[in-house]
């Protein structure tokens, strides 16, 4: 059983959803990002996604784009991302990288898989990589024990959902809405519908992302999903902070609120 699968299994025993937190490496600094992620973990985040900064983040909204742009302007490299993975995975929490395909391909598929595994990485999410185009990556990641998470969208056909579910490892990422990332005042009803459709084709864990930003929203999603993914709300904590220390504190407080939310409502056991 992979580290990611084990985290979902442990949460299921507790009749709750997994809390997954995202922050990009290098924002606001290399050390600052790691300190904020460590605050997430200390406050109840079960699985971490570390963003690999990329110049053309098509799926990301303005909040994450602003953070990624700052990380790139300060010179964050793939090596820095791997160092962040090494630091966070040492806490014992399953650590994923969220990256567009281009940086992984340029770094070298086999090289990235080997270096990521050596850093303690557990899984990779590449939102623009489809199962049909993933043979080279799946071969390299499989050789190094890395889970690959694929995305499903509300617009996905039943055939597409079956294909995604068949190839997904660790969990299936259910995008709650058609659009870019970003905190929203409410999580759309299409998220629950998408999870229900996925349940019909797979027994793998399903985590919902795009839009969750508060404890009550996390509790709502935890009614029907195995995992709750939060990204932009954490980034906003750092963007709005008066100082790096204040940002880390805000991230920790939000993580604690969200952790309480996923525990407030049980998922189907």
Separation of first and last alpha carbons in the chain: 19
**Tokens standing for 20?**
């997954």
Annotated catalytic residue, options 35, 46, 49, 226: 49
Catalytic residue status for 133: no
How many angstroms separate the CA atoms of 216 and 205, rounded?
21
- C-alpha pair distances (Å), 62 with each of 79, 113, 129, 179, 210: 25, 29, 22, 12, 13
Interacting residues of 109 by C-beta distance below 8 A, sequence separation 6+: 136, 137, 140
Q: Do 243 and 56 touch, CB atoms closer than 8 A?
A: no
Catalytic-labelled residue, pool 35, 38, 60, 80:
60
Distances (CA, A) of 174 to 31, 69, 127, 206, 264: 31, 26, 11, 7, 21
Q: Are 98 and 148 in contact (CB under 8 A)?
A: no
Q: Is 110 a catalytic residue?
A: no
Which sequence positions are flagged as catalytic?
49, 60
């Amino acid at each position: 059983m992979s580290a990611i699968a084990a985290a979902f299994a442990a949460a299921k025993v507790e009749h709750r959803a997994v809390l997954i937190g995202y922050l990009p490496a290098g924002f606001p600094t290399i050390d600052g990002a790691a300190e904020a992620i460590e605050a997430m973990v200390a406050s109840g985040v079960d699985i971490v996604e570390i963003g690999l900064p990329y110049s053309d983040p098509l799926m990301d909204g303005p909040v994450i784009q602003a953070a990624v742009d700052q990380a790139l302007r300060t010179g964050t490299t793939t090596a820095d991302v791997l160092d962040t993975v090494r630091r966070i995975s040492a806490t014992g929490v399953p650590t994923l990288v969220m990256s567009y395909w281009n940086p992984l391909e340029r770094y070298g598929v086999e090289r990235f898989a080997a270096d990521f595994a050596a850093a303690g990485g557990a899984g990779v999410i590449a939102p623009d990589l489809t199962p049909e185009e993933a043979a080279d990556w799946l071969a390299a990641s499989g050789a190094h024990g890395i889970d690959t998470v694929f995305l499903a969208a509300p617009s996905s056909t039943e055939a597409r959902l079956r294909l995604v579910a068949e190839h997904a490892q660790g969990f299936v990422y259910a995008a709650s809405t058609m659009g870019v990332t970003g905190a929203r005042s409410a999580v759309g009803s299409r998220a629950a519908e998408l999870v229900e459709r996925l349940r019909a084709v797979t027994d793998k864990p399903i985590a919902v992302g795009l839009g969750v930003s508060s404890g009550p929203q996390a509790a709502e999603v935890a009614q029907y999903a195995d995992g709750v993914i939060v990204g932009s709300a954490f980034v906003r904590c750092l963007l709005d902070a008066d100082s790096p220390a204040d940002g880390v504190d805000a991230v920790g407080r939000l993580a604690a609120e969200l952790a309480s939310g996923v525990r407030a409502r049980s998922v189907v056991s």
